[in-house]
């Protein structure tokens, strides 16, 4: 313990100079080190902490750069006065006496008051219980996010490029990142050139840009009856008319698509790999049929490959739709395979469309974070991404199989599901007559969070059998097994009715 109360922990991930920085700042903010307080000389503190003098000197330099201390040769290092924002002192803005509150309800745009936004708000649910098993969250668990490797790449990028990665980027993305993404796609068999790649803030922004460039209010978008709710909401918010495509056991029916091909149809949106929420993957023959229909009808396909490179089976993945036609617009993300907090995705489109996408992106956000793009490029170039994906696929197979076995053990035999060959979701078909929302509520009461099937349904589509979407990416195998046990209790409670709800068994 040093004379200013600092203690270093070699086991922590943070560098030692960062630990010193953080602890000094904490004491400054709590006034334990008041303005004018003199910090001990770096040599003296280093000796007391058992570390190198350069470690302390670097921490002191960071403190000075951030404005917490001032230093002078032969004078010492002193704590500076830190001004608190006025709002923090007063508790925020206050309404001037005598002024009426503005009529915000009537000022809202129609889109902000639409069924789409109400639906989105309704299904953002969580629980105050700390032990809830989350089978709804669509992101890797913390142990699968390579934060140490990303930190190493980020540190290198800042040291090498400095302010260059803290400026506005080109709207289409950093050239190096676009090139490396294109090379990664080619290695997976997806044709792409750097000039066809546009970096987005996640695949959700990719879909938003597509909507802004292609869709006018009233245009038709063909879509599966049950599909990704984020796409349903985006297209609906843009004023598109969503027309569900009849399905057969192989996917969207080519015969039905032929009947639906009309002049006001602008696109077919589809998820051929690891369908969200249903988990299935289209076969190669159906993919070729869809591409042939697209060219015959003159209607583009939007291929959402959010779970790219997450094949969990022994066999190679079927070719992407983009592989079969350069006119397919391909959208993907690094959120599910790497880290959602990077907020990085991309779209690949015919090069003649890229200037329009880039122009709209410039208007929307002036470009995706350049420091995140540069960090991702470093991560890919060092070979970290390829190695990380091997480990992630291996772990997701373990988790999928653990959930599958636990569902077999704990769920009624009238529940049905299939083992997905790609991705991180499983579609659980419930016994006929059950209300998915009731099962959802019973499951939440039992301590497990799931997604009810109506969340993923296109309005006006024929009612399908009740179901739940389960994810197996955000929890460990042990937690997945416990989640399946709790879900089994909840489904049995829903079947039996309110007179028998054995929720007391779940602790």
Segment 341-379, tens digit of pLDDT: 999 999 999 999 999 999 999 999 999 999 999 999 999
> What CATH code is assigned to 148-382?
3.40.640.10
Q: Using alpha carbons only, what angle is made at residue 483 by residues 481 and 489, rounded to the nearest 5 degrees?
A: 110
Domain with residues 115-144+387-505, CATH architecture: Alpha-Beta Complex (3.90)
Residues of CATH 1.10.10.10 domain(s) within the chain?
Answer: 16-79
Residues of CATH 3.40.640.10 domain(s) within the chain?
Answer: 148-382
pLDDT at 506: 29
Average pLDDT of the residues in 156-181 = 94
pLDDT digits (tens, 9 = 90+) for 337-347: 999 999 999 99
Name which residue leads in pLDDT, 245 or 100: 245
pLDDT digits (tens, 9 = 90+) for 52-91: 888 888 899 888 888 888 887 778 899 988 765 555 445 6
pLDDT at 139: 94
3-state secondary structure 173-203: CCHHHHHHHHHHHHHCCCCCCHHHEEEECHH
> What CATH code is assigned to 16-79?
1.10.10.10
pLDDT at 104: 80
Confidence tier at 396 by pLDDT (50, 70, 90)? very high
In 3-state terms, what secondary structure has residue 458?
coil
Q: Using alpha carbons only, what angle is made at residue 417 by residues 412 and 422, rounded to the nearest 5 degrees?
A: 150
pLDDT at 501: 40
Above pLDDT 70, what percent of the chain?
A: 90
Residue 147 has pLDDT above 60, yes or no: yes
Residue 445 has pLDDT above 80, yes or no: yes
Which residues neighbour 491 within 8 Å (Cβ) at sequence distance 6 or greater?
411, 412, 415, 430, 431, 434, 439, 442, 443
Residues of CATH 3.90.1150.10 domain(s) within the chain?
Answer: 115-144+387-505
């Amino acid at each position: 313990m040093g004379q200013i109360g600092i203690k270093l922990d070699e086991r922590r991930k943070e560098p030692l100079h960062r630990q010193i920085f953080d602890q000094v700042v904490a004491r400054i903010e709590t006034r334990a080190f008041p303005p004018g307080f003199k910090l001990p000389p770096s040599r003296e503190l280093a000796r007391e902490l058992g570390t190198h003098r350069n470690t302390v000197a670097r921490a002191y330099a960071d403190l000075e750069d951030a404005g917490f201390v001032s230093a002078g040769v032969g004078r010492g290092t002193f704590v500076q006065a830190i001004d608190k924002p006025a709002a923090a002192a007063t508790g925020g803005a206050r309404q001037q006496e005598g002024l009426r509150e503005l009529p915000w309800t009537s000022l809202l745009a129609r889109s902000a008051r639409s069924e789409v936004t109400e639906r989105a708000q309704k299904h953002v649910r969580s629980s105050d219980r700390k032990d809830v098993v989350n089978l709804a969250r669509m992101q890797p668990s913390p142990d699968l996010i390579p934060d140490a490797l990303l930190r190493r790449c980020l540190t290198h990028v800042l040291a090498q490029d400095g302010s260059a990665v803290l400026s506005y980027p080109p709207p289409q993305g950093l050239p190096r990142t676009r090139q490396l993404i294109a090379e990664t796609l080619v290695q997976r068999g997806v044709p792409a050139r750097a000039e066809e790649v546009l970096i987005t803030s996640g695949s959700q922004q990719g879909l938003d840009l597509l909507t802004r460039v292609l869709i006018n209010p009233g245009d038709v978008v063909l879509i599966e009856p049950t599909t990704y709710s984020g796409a349903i909401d985006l297209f609906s918010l843009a004023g598109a008319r969503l027309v569900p495509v009849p399905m057969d056991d192989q996917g969207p029916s080519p015969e039905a698509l032929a009947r639906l091909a009309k002049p006001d149809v602008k696109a077919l949106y589809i998820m051929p790999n690891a369908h969200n929420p249903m988990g299935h993957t289209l076969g190669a023959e159906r993919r070729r049929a869809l591409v042939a229909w697209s060219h015959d009808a003159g209607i583009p396909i939007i291929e959402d490959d959010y779970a790219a490179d997450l094949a969990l089976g022994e066999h190679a993945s079927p070719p992407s739709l983009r592989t079969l036609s350069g006119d397919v617009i391909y959208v993907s993300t690094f959120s599910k395979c790497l880290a959602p907090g990077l907020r990085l995705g991309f779209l690949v489109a015919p090069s003649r469309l890229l200037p329009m996408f880039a122009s709209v992106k410039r208007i929307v956000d002036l470009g995706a974070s350049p420091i995140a793009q540069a960090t991702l490029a470093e991560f890919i170039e060092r070979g970290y991404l390829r190695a990380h994906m091997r480990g992630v696929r291996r772990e997701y197979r373990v988790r999928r199989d653990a959930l599958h076995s636990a569902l077999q053990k704990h769920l009624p035999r009238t529940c049905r599901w299939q083992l997905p060959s790609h991705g991180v979701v499983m579609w659980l078909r419930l016994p006929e007559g059950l209300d998915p929302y009731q099962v959802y509520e019973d499951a939440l009461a039992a301590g497990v969070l799931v997604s009810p099937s109506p969340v993923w349904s296109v309005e006006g589509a024929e009612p399908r059998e009740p179901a739940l979407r389960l994810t197996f990416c955000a929890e460990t195998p042990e937690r997945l097994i416990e989640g399946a046990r709790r879900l089994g209790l909840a489904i049995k409670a829903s079947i039996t009715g309110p007179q028998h709800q054995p929720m007391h068994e779940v602790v």
